[in-house]
Structure 1
């Protein structure tokens, strides 16, 4: 029985949720899994994967901005991130001195690797997307990322191969120009803990409000001002667990401040049309559930979401709108002209192939 250390980044829950099917596959194959993370990610994984061992392992502070100017704050936070990375390496050395592992899986934690233990890095961004006027700096992110990729035995990308005949979900984000990254990259296909269920499509619209503050609250205000104008049955999830709000605005509009993961997945399966941020985790969920109709509104200043929104619109997959230009009734009608993501292999198949192709050699 192999022993595996899995360590997801605690910037939102997307890293943890895409690791759940990997963890479940490792457990199914009879391996012992220890999870090292912190905060909400630790709480989620303790609930979803109680058979695992757990170690509190803090990561870097998330460089989210309170305004739409995400990039300047991220740049200013680089010295802080580098110091946090040094602390991460020191803490990892302590963990490895106290435990024996056959494999390390790091989800976007650049310092979680060992020269003595096979180590794999999970990311959908082999490069970053920056505004057009910063294109030269965007090119610099490719060698910067590759420098960290070289510390790992492999880089697992939760997307299909980007140069195949079929367009992939992450677009240019999963394309590197450097051999050091490309020879390590394994394209696993989408990975999400969300499961497709056999449910009646009896919910016309599911609107999911999310993102860091204050942008989450701004989107909430915009959505609640317009949602009752949409025809049909509607549910709004505000993504605000610190509040307690469950109410009917009218006979066809329900608002919840927060629901459990299970309740949210149930609603996603029932919904004919989804309105949400264009975060990559949500995109994989849409692909997993074969949802063809949706409207995305990227978090202002988060360049990855803004790029994905533009990319999907060019592909004819989904319409996106800035939250400041959102006109729900008109935008939903226009969004019906888009046809959704192309058919692709699902998580259950992808995670089995990932184990057989990558992990088995280190754990048999």
Structure 2
């Protein structure tokens, strides 16, 4: 039995939830898994694996900002993040000194690697997409990424290989020889499973993202849901509020739900309206949703690129938050056909273990 340390970044829940099938597979093969995380990522994984061993392991604050100030604020925060990464790495060395580990898996935590123990990095973003105004920063990211990738034995990309089935488009294409040598395309990895239930819900609207953009989207959505025919549920993404549901005509609004409840609602929904965060998009692929409206968080260039990319591919309709016409945009979702057929998480995670992880554990 091998001992594996898994450490996801706590920038949203996506990193933690896509690690769920990986952790489950490691445990199914008899390996001992220690989860090192913080915040909501730690809470979600505790719910999923209550009997696992956990380490409270702080990461670094999210340098989000409102609107299109995201990029300059992110760049301004880089020196502070680098200091945090150094601290993160020092903390990892202390963790590794206390217990014996055979493998370290870091989901987008830049300081979680070891020169003594095989280390694997998980990321769908090997290439950073920035507006043309910031193209020098995009070029500068290439050598920075190369240095980062050199610290890891392998890089797991939760996407299909470059080509017609690639969910991340240019974001998951390696730009350096180091990345090309170490990359392993696992295919989609989603903690949300298909359920045998009836699609009896016309709409599921998932409001998310950092403030103040989450509140801006909530205001827009709640003012327009009355325009839509049919029934629906709005998840407000606001866990600090009371959980009690409120009714608006045929609509139910809930401040937040558990990951299990959200998975059931996504399975039941005929049309999903949501942000274009990558983990959510993998959920749409896993559940084979053919109708969705994507609303990228303003200023988050990755979401804006993915929304544009999917629209160009004819997969899903998208609309900027500031130009949202809910009735018209929902009608346009009928013109798109969803993701093409692709291997699902169960198949992908078995191949990931057999072709990559077993090399370090058996």
In the alignment, does 2:199 pair up with 1:201? Answer: yes
CA distance in 2, matches of 1:67, 1:10: 21
Kindly report which structure 2 residues correspond to 1:18-97, keeping only aligned pairs within 5 A, or say none: 18-97=18-97
CA distance in 1, matches of 2:66, 2:135: 24
Q: Which runs of 5+ in 1 are unaligned?
A: none
Task: For residues 137-167 of structure 1, give each alpha carbon's deviation from its aligned partner in whole angstroms, at most 9, with x where no partner exists.
Answer: 21322221121001000000000111x4x23
CA distance in 1, matches of 2:257, 2:42: 18
Task: Report the number of matched residues.
Answer: 361
Tell me by how many angstroms 1:67 deviates. Answer: 4.1
CA distance in 2, matches of 1:160, 1:85: 29
Q: Which runs of 5+ in 2 are unaligned?
A: none
CA distance in 2, matches of 1:189, 1:167: 9
Kindly report which structure 2 residues correspond to 1:131-150, keeping only aligned pairs within 5 A, or say none: 131-150=131-150
Query: Would the aligned equivalents of 2:126 and 2:175 in 1 still touch at CA under 8 Å?
Result: no
Task: For residues 298-325 of structure 1, give each alpha carbon's deviation from its aligned partner in whole angstroms, at most 9, with x where no partner exists.
Answer: 0001010000001001101111101110
Task: For residues 147-196 of structure 1, give each alpha carbon's deviation from its aligned partner in whole angstroms, at most 9, with x where no partner exists.
Answer: 1001000000000111x4x2310000011221111110000000010000
Tell me by how many angstroms 1:114 deviates. Answer: 0.9
CA distance in 2, matches of 1:39, 1:330: 38
Counterpart of 2:176?
Answer: 178
TM-score by length of 2: 0.98
TM-score by length of 1: 0.97
The secondary structure found in structure 1 opposite 2:299 is coil
CA distance in 2, matches of 1:140, 1:74: 14
Task: For residues 80-105 of structure 1, give each alpha carbon's deviation from its aligned partner in whole angstroms, at most 9, with x where no partner exists.
Answer: 10110110111011001101000110
Residue 340 of structure 2 is aligned with which of 334, 339, 342? 342
Query: Would the aligned equivalents of 2:127 and 2:175 in 1 still touch at CA under 8 Å?
Result: no
CA distance in 2, matches of 1:230, 1:205: 9
Query: Would the aligned equivalents of 2:188 and 2:344 in 1 still touch at CA under 8 Å?
Result: yes
CA distance in 2, matches of 1:95, 1:259: 33
Counterpart of 2:247?
Answer: 248
Q: Following superposition, which runs of at least 4 residues in structure 1 exceed 6 angstroms of deviation?
A: none
Bigger shift: residues 79-88 or 65-74: 65-74
Query: Would the aligned equivalents of 1:235 and 1:254 in 2 still touch at CA under 8 Å?
Result: yes
CA distance in 2, matches of 1:64, 1:233: 33
Residue 262 of structure 1 is aligned with which of 242, 260, 263? 260
Task: For residues 226-275 of structure 1, give each alpha carbon's deviation from its aligned partner in whole angstroms, at most 9, with x where no partner exists.
Answer: 0011001111110101112411111x111111111111111100000010
Counterpart of 1:233?
Answer: 231
